[in-house]
């Protein structure tokens, strides 16, 4: 099984987060896909970050992270917002979710 860092754009820190979320190899990441992998990261407590989301998409396509532009980036932003709303801060009130999105409160322990 290939290490996660063999996928373009995935360094040691990102690989560590993926492993903590239950994705331990490049093959497993390719099999589950970018959206499901990112959802697992959010469910494991990773703070949402749009750049990390599209870096994952670009990496699985073998593209540099900064290749994401225009309509493609806009479409990924919509999907990211949808995943985030379904998988992050679901145990908080609407006010707490908003405060967390703007960085006022810490993520749940």
Does residue 106 lie in a domain region? no
Per-residue model confidence (pLDDT) at position 102: 66
Q: Is 8 helix (H, G, I), strand (E, B) or coil?
A: coil
Per-residue model confidence (pLDDT) at position 99: 72
pLDDT tens, position by position, 15-62: 999 999 999 999 999 999 999 999 999 888 888 899 999 999 999 999
**Which range of residues forms the domain containing residue 49?**
4-101
pTM over 0.85, yes/no: no
Does residue 107 lie in a domain region? no
pLDDT tens, position by position, 86-106: 766 566 677 776 676 666 666
Q: Could you tell me the two tokens for 44?
A: 């494991």
Contact (CB, 8 A) for 4 and 29: yes
Q: Whose structure tokens read 């703007």?
A: 102
The CATH number of the domain holding residue 37 is 1.10.150.20
Q: Whose structure tokens read 């970050």?
A: 49
Nearest to 48 by CA among 92, 97, 15, 109: 97
Does residue 65 lie in a domain region? yes
Domains held by the chain: number: 1
């Amino acid at each position: 099984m290939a290490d996660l860092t063999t996928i373009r754009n995935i360094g040691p820190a990102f690989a560590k987060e993926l492993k903590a979320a239950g994705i331990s190899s490049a093959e497993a990441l390719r099999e589950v896909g970018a959206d499901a992998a990112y959802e697992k990261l959010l469910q494991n407590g990773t703070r949402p970050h749009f750049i990390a989301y599209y870096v994952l998409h670009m990496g699985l396509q073998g593209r540099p992270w900064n290749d994401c532009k225009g309509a493609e980036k806009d479409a990924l932003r919509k999907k990211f917002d949808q995943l985030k709303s379904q998988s992050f801060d679901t145990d908080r009130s609407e006010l707490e979710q908003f405060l967390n999105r703007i960085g006022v409160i810490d993520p749940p322990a």
